[in-house]
Amino acid sequence: MNELLIIAAPDLMTQRGAWLESLETERRYSVNTLHAYERDTRQFLNFLTGHLAGPPTLADIHTLRPADLRAFLAARRRDGSGNRSLGRHLAGLRSFLRYLERKGLVNAAGAGAIRSPRQPKSLPKPLTDRQALNVVSSDAQMHETPWIAARDAAVLTLLYGCGLRISEALGLTPDDLSQGATSLRITGKGGKTRLVPLLTVVFEAVTTYRKLCPYHLEDGKPLFRGARGGPLQPAIIQREMQKLRSAFGLPDTATPHALRHSFATHLLAGGGDLRTIQELLGHASLSTTQVYTGVDTARLLDVYDRAHPRA
């Protein structure tokens, strides 16, 4: 069967089209998500055509059982879909069924009764020491305007030197980095506050930016500004990091958040203990921080495989 062709009753196709349009115009989903949800529901309706021995209707969707959904997921697994893809299939179907339920057309309880496939834990992908130092260097910044290049270097240095999330770095105000400060008080997820040591090199990078910035940086207002003086947006730093990836030949995993991963991984490799790293990152649970032990072990095994004469 041509998967681009959908065999389903007109009433169901009309509602599917309205749902996809609502995701685009009202929910403003990304193009990639819209394409994925369109494909997932197309595959599901085509599956039902064979499963029910005829084109599915709204009445068929109303009487769907968890076993029908499990049969679809099993069919996708046989076709090579992994847990991550199966989880996305299920998310798309749940969204569609909830939309129909809100309109009083079906009961979506069956979809809610199915547990999403367990997702594999992906290890953070830190930069090497040299890569991280290259990226945060003031000389490496790509912008031609000196104060903007200094700003980008300061933000990236905060991510790597203090292990901040990008939202935490951009939420800083001038009074957070007063003259002679040796630590930063950071308010992270859930309003949790932590103290982070402020390295001299980090303070100097921020000081250079403040000296060059053409805008008045008031206490209580955002420290980092965009080209027109407004608060600096994360997308700007993400775009600059993309340019640096291209310049240094780094993988797509080299994102601003990867600098935070690098901060933790390099501390661990240097002898830092997990509890301290947990505090510095602001993790609520030690289990979240323990993922970095897997990163470090993977790095050591890679070195062993490449360097040990008996490997």
Tell me the catalytic residues: 165, 189, 257, 260, 283, 292
* CA dihedral over 59, 7, 74, 39, signed as positive or negative: negative
Main-chain dihedrals φ then ψ at residue 197, nearest 5 degrees = -60, 140
CA distance 155 to 165: 10
CA distance 48 to 76: 13
Spatial CA neighbour of 163 closest among 14, 264, 52: 264
CA distances from 191 to 129, 141, 272, 280 (A): 31, 32, 25, 15
Q: Quickly list H helices, the chain.
A: 10-25, 31-51, 58-62, 66-78, 83-102, 109-112, 129-136, 146-162, 166-170, 200-212, 234-248, 256-269, 274-281, 286-289, 291-307
* Token output for 19: 């749902």
Spatial CA neighbour of 141 closest among 230, 236, 217, 224: 236
User: How many residues can be counted in the chain?
Assistant: 311
